[in-house]
Structure 1
Amino acid sequence: MNEFPGITHIAVTVSDLRRSAAWYADLFGTQPVLDEDVEAGDFHHTVFALGGGNLFGLHRHVDPSGAPFDERSPGLDHVSFACSDRAELEKWSVRLDELGIARGEIVDAHYGSGLSFRDPDGIALEFFAPPAAA
Protein backbone atom coordinates (compact mmCIF):
# COMPACT_ATOMS: atom_id res chain seq x y z
CA MET A 1 0.00 0.00 0.00
CA ASN A 2 1.72 3.13 -1.24
CA GLU A 3 -0.68 5.91 -0.38
CA PHE A 4 -3.76 6.21 1.80
CA PRO A 5 -6.83 6.41 -0.48
CA GLY A 6 -8.75 9.66 -0.93
CA ILE A 7 -12.27 10.28 0.29
CA THR A 8 -14.99 9.31 -2.19
CA HIS A 9 -18.01 10.57 -0.31
CA ILE A 10 -19.36 12.18 2.81
CA ALA A 11 -22.83 11.36 4.13
CA VAL A 12 -24.65 13.33 6.81
CA THR A 13 -27.85 12.44 8.63
CA VAL A 14 -30.64 15.02 8.35
CA SER A 15 -33.99 15.41 10.08
CA ASP A 16 -36.04 16.49 7.05
CA LEU A 17 -34.75 14.98 3.81
CA ARG A 18 -36.96 17.06 1.51
CA ARG A 19 -35.92 20.35 3.15
CA SER A 20 -32.24 19.43 3.25
CA ALA A 21 -32.18 18.12 -0.34
CA ALA A 22 -33.61 21.44 -1.57
CA TRP A 23 -31.14 23.43 0.58
CA TYR A 24 -28.12 21.46 -0.63
CA ALA A 25 -29.35 21.57 -4.25
CA ASP A 26 -29.33 25.38 -4.00
CA LEU A 27 -25.90 25.38 -2.34
CA PHE A 28 -24.34 22.94 -4.83
CA GLY A 29 -26.16 24.37 -7.85
CA THR A 30 -27.19 20.89 -8.97
CA GLN A 31 -29.83 18.22 -8.41
CA PRO A 32 -29.23 14.84 -6.75
CA VAL A 33 -27.95 11.98 -8.91
CA LEU A 34 -29.50 9.34 -6.64
CA ASP A 35 -32.56 9.31 -4.39
CA GLU A 36 -33.60 5.94 -2.99
CA ASP A 37 -34.39 3.75 -0.04
CA VAL A 38 -31.47 1.58 0.97
CA GLU A 39 -32.04 -2.14 0.35
CA ALA A 40 -32.10 -2.98 4.07
CA GLY A 41 -34.90 -0.41 4.43
CA ASP A 42 -33.49 1.32 7.50
CA PHE A 43 -32.69 4.62 5.80
CA HIS A 44 -33.26 6.68 2.67
CA HIS A 45 -30.48 8.53 0.94
CA THR A 46 -30.12 11.33 -1.54
CA VAL A 47 -26.74 11.80 -3.21
CA PHE A 48 -25.17 14.78 -4.99
CA ALA A 49 -22.20 14.49 -7.37
CA LEU A 50 -19.60 17.16 -6.69
CA GLY A 51 -16.46 18.05 -8.61
CA GLY A 52 -13.51 15.67 -8.68
CA GLY A 53 -15.67 12.56 -8.50
CA ASN A 54 -16.74 13.26 -4.91
CA LEU A 55 -20.22 12.48 -3.65
CA PHE A 56 -22.16 14.16 -0.85
CA GLY A 57 -25.01 12.15 0.65
CA LEU A 58 -27.95 12.96 2.84
CA HIS A 59 -29.38 10.18 5.00
CA ARG A 60 -32.77 10.01 6.71
CA HIS A 61 -33.10 7.06 9.08
CA VAL A 62 -36.46 5.42 9.83
CA ASP A 63 -35.71 5.61 13.57
CA PRO A 64 -33.98 8.97 14.08
CA SER A 65 -32.54 9.75 17.51
CA GLY A 66 -33.91 13.28 17.51
CA ALA A 67 -30.69 14.60 19.04
CA PRO A 68 -29.54 17.85 17.43
CA PHE A 69 -26.14 18.11 15.76
CA ASP A 70 -23.36 19.10 18.15
CA GLU A 71 -19.78 19.26 16.89
CA ARG A 72 -18.59 19.00 20.50
CA SER A 73 -19.94 15.44 20.74
CA PRO A 74 -18.02 12.46 19.39
CA GLY A 75 -18.57 12.10 15.66
CA LEU A 76 -18.52 14.68 12.90
CA ASP A 77 -17.06 18.08 13.68
CA HIS A 78 -17.58 19.75 10.29
CA VAL A 79 -17.34 19.23 6.54
CA SER A 80 -14.99 21.51 4.61
CA PHE A 81 -15.16 22.30 0.89
CA ALA A 82 -11.89 23.20 -0.86
CA CYS A 83 -11.38 26.63 -2.40
CA SER A 84 -8.31 27.58 -4.40
CA ASP A 85 -7.65 30.90 -2.64
CA ARG A 86 -9.11 33.64 -0.45
CA ALA A 87 -10.68 35.36 -3.47
CA GLU A 88 -12.80 32.26 -4.04
CA LEU A 89 -13.87 32.37 -0.38
CA GLU A 90 -15.01 35.95 -0.91
CA LYS A 91 -17.14 34.81 -3.88
CA TRP A 92 -18.70 32.09 -1.75
CA SER A 93 -19.42 34.65 0.96
CA VAL A 94 -21.44 36.64 -1.59
CA ARG A 95 -23.16 33.46 -2.87
CA LEU A 96 -24.20 32.41 0.64
CA ASP A 97 -25.68 35.88 1.15
CA GLU A 98 -27.59 35.55 -2.14
CA LEU A 99 -28.99 32.20 -0.95
CA GLY A 100 -29.97 33.69 2.41
CA ILE A 101 -27.63 31.33 4.27
CA ALA A 102 -26.31 32.73 7.55
CA ARG A 103 -22.53 32.65 7.71
CA GLY A 104 -19.57 33.82 9.71
CA GLU A 105 -16.88 36.13 8.47
CA ILE A 106 -13.83 34.82 6.65
CA VAL A 107 -11.24 33.90 9.27
CA ASP A 108 -7.58 34.04 8.27
CA ALA A 109 -4.94 31.94 10.04
CA HIS A 110 -1.40 30.86 9.28
CA TYR A 111 -2.69 27.48 7.99
CA GLY A 112 -5.36 28.97 5.67
CA SER A 113 -8.65 30.84 5.59
CA GLY A 114 -12.14 29.57 6.33
CA LEU A 115 -15.74 30.65 5.91
CA SER A 116 -18.15 28.84 8.27
CA PHE A 117 -21.89 28.26 7.91
CA ARG A 118 -24.49 25.64 8.89
CA ASP A 119 -27.09 23.55 7.10
CA PRO A 120 -30.77 23.41 8.19
CA ASP A 121 -29.93 20.83 10.90
CA GLY A 122 -27.08 22.94 12.23
CA ILE A 123 -24.38 20.71 10.73
CA ALA A 124 -21.17 22.74 10.61
CA LEU A 125 -19.86 23.39 7.09
CA GLU A 126 -17.07 25.56 5.78
CA PHE A 127 -15.27 26.68 2.68
CA PHE A 128 -11.49 26.54 3.18
CA ALA A 129 -8.56 27.92 1.21
CA PRO A 130 -4.85 27.26 1.77
CA PRO A 131 -2.62 30.13 2.88
CA ALA A 132 -1.38 32.50 0.21
CA ALA A 133 2.01 31.57 -1.21
CA ALA A 134 4.78 33.66 0.29
Structure 2
Amino acid sequence: MAGLARIRHVKLPVSDLARSVAWYCDLLELRLAGEFREEGELRGAQLMHPSGFGVALREREYCPGQPDLAGFDVFALEVDSVDDLHAFAARADELDYTRGEVFDRGEQGAFLDLVDPDNTVVRLLANNPFHADRFLGVDADGKGGFTLYDQPTLV
Protein backbone atom coordinates (compact mmCIF):
# COMPACT_ATOMS: atom_id res chain seq x y z
CA MET A 1 0.00 0.00 0.00
CA ALA A 2 1.31 3.43 -0.86
CA GLY A 3 2.58 5.49 2.02
CA LEU A 4 3.79 2.71 4.33
CA ALA A 5 7.44 3.16 5.24
CA ARG A 6 8.26 0.81 8.14
CA ILE A 7 7.06 -0.51 11.45
CA ARG A 8 7.35 2.40 13.86
CA HIS A 9 7.33 0.39 17.07
CA VAL A 10 6.11 -2.76 18.71
CA LYS A 11 4.41 -2.61 22.11
CA LEU A 12 5.13 -5.19 24.77
CA PRO A 13 3.49 -5.89 28.11
CA VAL A 14 5.97 -5.91 31.01
CA SER A 15 5.71 -6.70 34.70
CA ASP A 16 8.29 -4.15 35.88
CA LEU A 17 8.57 -1.06 33.69
CA ALA A 18 11.85 0.29 35.12
CA ARG A 19 13.58 -3.11 34.88
CA SER A 20 12.45 -3.60 31.27
CA VAL A 21 13.44 -0.07 30.24
CA ALA A 22 16.92 -0.75 31.62
CA TRP A 23 17.18 -4.11 29.77
CA TYR A 24 16.15 -2.72 26.37
CA CYS A 25 18.33 0.37 26.75
CA ASP A 26 21.39 -1.51 28.07
CA LEU A 27 21.34 -4.38 25.60
CA LEU A 28 19.79 -2.95 22.43
CA GLU A 29 21.09 0.60 22.79
CA LEU A 30 17.62 2.11 22.79
CA ARG A 31 17.02 5.41 24.54
CA LEU A 32 14.08 6.56 26.58
CA ALA A 33 12.12 8.83 24.23
CA GLY A 34 8.85 9.16 26.12
CA GLU A 35 6.78 8.17 29.13
CA PHE A 36 3.06 7.61 29.50
CA ARG A 37 1.24 8.48 32.71
CA GLU A 38 -2.36 7.80 33.60
CA GLU A 39 -3.90 9.66 36.52
CA GLY A 40 -0.41 10.64 37.65
CA GLU A 41 0.99 7.08 37.58
CA LEU A 42 3.69 5.94 35.17
CA ARG A 43 2.26 3.11 33.03
CA GLY A 44 4.41 2.99 29.89
CA ALA A 45 7.52 4.08 28.05
CA GLN A 46 8.58 4.68 24.45
CA LEU A 47 12.12 3.60 23.61
CA MET A 48 13.78 4.55 20.32
CA HIS A 49 16.82 3.37 18.39
CA PRO A 50 18.88 5.88 16.38
CA SER A 51 17.88 4.02 13.20
CA GLY A 52 14.23 4.97 13.76
CA PHE A 53 12.50 1.88 15.17
CA GLY A 54 10.97 1.82 18.60
CA VAL A 55 9.84 -0.48 21.37
CA ALA A 56 6.96 0.66 23.52
CA LEU A 57 6.51 -0.93 26.94
CA ARG A 58 3.34 -0.98 29.03
CA GLU A 59 2.80 -2.28 32.53
CA ARG A 60 1.05 -5.64 32.01
CA GLU A 61 -1.54 -5.08 34.72
CA TYR A 62 -2.91 -2.14 32.68
CA CYS A 63 -3.07 -4.03 29.37
CA PRO A 64 -6.40 -5.52 28.27
CA GLY A 65 -6.27 -9.24 29.02
CA GLN A 66 -2.87 -8.89 30.71
CA PRO A 67 -1.05 -10.76 27.89
CA ASP A 68 1.92 -12.99 28.69
CA LEU A 69 4.34 -13.53 25.80
CA ALA A 70 6.88 -15.68 27.66
CA GLY A 71 8.94 -17.77 25.25
CA PHE A 72 7.52 -16.07 22.14
CA ASP A 73 9.57 -14.00 19.69
CA VAL A 74 7.14 -11.15 19.05
CA PHE A 75 9.53 -9.38 16.70
CA ALA A 76 12.97 -9.77 15.17
CA LEU A 77 15.67 -7.20 14.56
CA GLU A 78 18.14 -7.47 11.73
CA VAL A 79 21.87 -6.98 12.25
CA ASP A 80 24.55 -6.62 9.59
CA SER A 81 26.55 -9.78 10.22
CA VAL A 82 27.01 -12.96 12.21
CA ASP A 83 29.86 -11.16 13.97
CA ASP A 84 27.25 -8.69 15.25
CA LEU A 85 25.23 -11.60 16.67
CA HIS A 86 28.32 -12.76 18.56
CA ALA A 87 28.88 -9.19 19.82
CA PHE A 88 25.31 -9.06 21.16
CA ALA A 89 25.81 -12.47 22.78
CA ALA A 90 28.97 -11.20 24.49
CA ARG A 91 27.16 -8.04 25.62
CA ALA A 92 24.30 -10.13 27.07
CA ASP A 93 26.85 -12.25 28.94
CA GLU A 94 28.61 -9.14 30.23
CA LEU A 95 25.29 -7.81 31.56
CA ASP A 96 24.31 -11.28 32.90
CA TYR A 97 21.19 -11.37 30.71
CA THR A 98 19.64 -14.61 29.45
CA ARG A 99 20.26 -15.55 25.84
CA GLY A 100 20.31 -18.50 23.48
CA GLU A 101 23.19 -19.63 21.30
CA VAL A 102 24.13 -18.06 17.98
CA PHE A 103 22.78 -20.39 15.28
CA ASP A 104 24.46 -19.90 11.91
CA ARG A 105 22.72 -21.78 9.10
CA GLY A 106 24.82 -20.33 6.30
CA GLU A 107 22.75 -19.05 3.40
CA GLN A 108 19.57 -19.78 5.38
CA GLY A 109 20.59 -17.06 7.84
CA ALA A 110 21.71 -16.86 11.44
CA PHE A 111 19.97 -15.85 14.63
CA LEU A 112 20.37 -15.18 18.32
CA ASP A 113 17.54 -15.13 20.85
CA LEU A 114 17.74 -12.63 23.71
CA VAL A 115 15.34 -13.11 26.60
CA ASP A 116 13.93 -10.00 28.26
CA PRO A 117 13.03 -9.78 31.98
CA ASP A 118 9.51 -11.10 31.26
CA ASN A 119 10.87 -14.04 29.20
CA THR A 120 9.72 -12.48 25.93
CA VAL A 121 12.18 -13.41 23.20
CA VAL A 122 13.81 -10.75 21.02
CA ARG A 123 15.30 -12.50 18.00
CA LEU A 124 18.28 -10.98 16.19
CA LEU A 125 18.79 -12.07 12.57
CA ALA A 126 21.77 -11.91 10.24
CA ASN A 127 21.78 -12.88 6.55
CA ASN A 128 17.99 -13.18 6.62
CA PRO A 129 16.83 -15.16 3.56
CA PHE A 130 13.30 -13.63 3.50
CA HIS A 131 12.80 -10.83 0.99
CA ALA A 132 9.75 -8.99 -0.34
CA ASP A 133 10.48 -9.90 -3.97
CA ARG A 134 10.37 -13.70 -3.62
CA PHE A 135 8.63 -16.41 -1.61
CA LEU A 136 10.38 -18.78 0.79
CA GLY A 137 8.62 -21.47 2.81
CA VAL A 138 10.17 -23.29 5.75
CA ASP A 139 9.05 -26.74 6.88
CA ALA A 140 10.51 -27.50 10.33
CA ASP A 141 10.72 -31.11 11.49
CA GLY A 142 10.56 -30.33 15.23
CA LYS A 143 14.07 -31.70 15.79
CA GLY A 144 16.04 -28.66 14.60
CA GLY A 145 16.02 -29.64 10.94
CA PHE A 146 14.08 -28.00 8.14
CA THR A 147 13.50 -28.00 4.41
CA LEU A 148 12.74 -25.03 2.20
CA TYR A 149 10.06 -24.74 -0.48
CA ASP A 150 9.23 -22.10 -3.08
CA GLN A 151 5.46 -22.44 -3.69
CA PRO A 152 3.05 -20.99 -1.11
CA THR A 153 0.29 -23.21 0.27
CA LEU A 154 -1.93 -20.31 1.44
CA VAL A 155 -2.87 -19.17 -2.07
Query: TM range, normalised to the smaller chain?
Result: 0.7 to 0.9
In the alignment, which residue of structure 2 is the partner of 1:25? 25
In the alignment, which residue of structure 1 is the partner of 2:95? 99
RMSD across aligned positions (CA): 2.9
Give the TM-score taking structure 1 as reference length: 0.77
Letter in 2 for 1:126: R
Letter in 2 for 1:104: G
Aligned 1:36-55 pairs, distance under 5 A: 36-37=36-37, 44-55=43-54
Return the structure number with greater relative CO, CA threshold 8 A, min gap 6: 1
- Taking the aligned partners of 1:80 and 1:131, their CA distance within structure 2 comes to 10
Aligned 1:36-115 pairs, distance under 5 A: 36-37=36-37, 44-63=43-62, 65=65, 68-70=68-70, 77-109=73-105, 110-115=107-112
CA distances 1:74-123 after superposition (whole Å, capped 9, x unpaired): xx643212110111111111111111112111112242100012101110
Gaps in structure 1 of 5+ consecutive residues: none
Q: CA deviation at 1:11?
A: 1.0
Gaps in structure 2 of 5+ consecutive residues: 130-155
1:101 counterpart SS class? coil
User: Is the contact between residue 29 and residue 49 of structure 2 (CA under 8 Å) also seen in structure 1?
Assistant: no
- Taking the aligned partners of 2:33 and 2:6, their CA distance within structure 1 comes to 21
* The structure with more radius of gyration: 2
Q: CA deviation at 1:31?
A: 3.6
CA shift in 2, pair 1:60/1:3, >3 Å: same
- Taking the aligned partners of 1:61 and 1:115, their CA distance within structure 2 comes to 26
Give the TM-score taking structure 2 as reference length: 0.68
- Taking the aligned partners of 1:53 and 1:83, their CA distance within structure 2 comes to 14
Letter in 1 for 2:125: F
User: Is the contact between residue 117 and residue 124 of structure 1 (CA under 8 Å) also seen in structure 2?
Assistant: yes
2:32 counterpart SS class? coil
Does residue 34 in structure 1 map to residue 30 in structure 2? no
- Taking the aligned partners of 2:99 and 2:46, their CA distance within structure 1 comes to 24
CA shift in 2, pair 1:96/1:84, >3 Å: same
Q: How many positions carry a matched residue from both structures?
A: 127
